[in-house]
Amino acid sequence: MLARLAAALVLAALAAAPSTADEVRAMLGTIDRPIPAEAWRALGPEAGPLLEAAAASGAELPSRRARALEGLAARGGARAEALHRRLAADPAAPRIVRAGAVRGLGALLPPAGLGDALVPLLSDRDPRLRRAAAEALAARAPAQGCGAVRAQAAREPGRALAAAVQACERAMPRRR
């Protein structure tokens, strides 16, 4: 009798537990709070293909695609890196998606590889993308990127890259 009750409770808990797809959908729809990297990693291996599909889909809302890229960057891996590179370089992708891909590359790539990947994006026509590239370079690869960040900031109108330049100054102060 006790074994039956325990089995029934386990089955009820399994039936009530949300599927990975449900959890991914809920996380992609979150707009008012950040999602910790640990939460993305806790989804399990079946979440990877779901996040990849959402990030790559032109049918998804751009905000959901950017959130999927955030999840993929937290989870890591070669497939996530390849998708981030492709979307960052795609001028037809929505701005929020491209900027999300650049931020993701900042998390995915080792510092030594960031310069090659992100310095060319400092001259992109989209100011949001330039800012995302500058901030990622300043935060994770100042030795490889701060010279280019400072040079681009000198060409930018206003103070669009001020936060990145300040991060460069903290990481690599110029000798006076």
Query: Can you give the pLDDT of all 176 residues of the chain as single tens digits?
Result: 555 644 444 444 444 447 889 999 999 999 888 999 999 999 989 999 999 999 999 999 999 999 999 999 999 999 999 999 999 999 999 999 999 999 999 999 999 999 999 999 999 999 999 999 999 999 999 999 999 999 999 999 888 898 898 999 898 777 65
- Which of 13, 25, 21, 67 lies closest to 44 in space, CA to CA? 21
Amino acid at 56: A
Phi, psi of 27 (to 5 degrees): -70, -35
- Tokens of residue 58, six digits: 């032109």
Using an 8 Å Cβ cutoff, are 99 and 132 in contact?
A: yes
- What are the boundaries of each domain within the chain? 47-171
pTM: 0.84
Distance CA 165, CA 39 (A): 31
- Which of 88, 81, 83, 136 lies closest to 114 in space, CA to CA? 136
Distance CA 169, CA 163 (A): 10
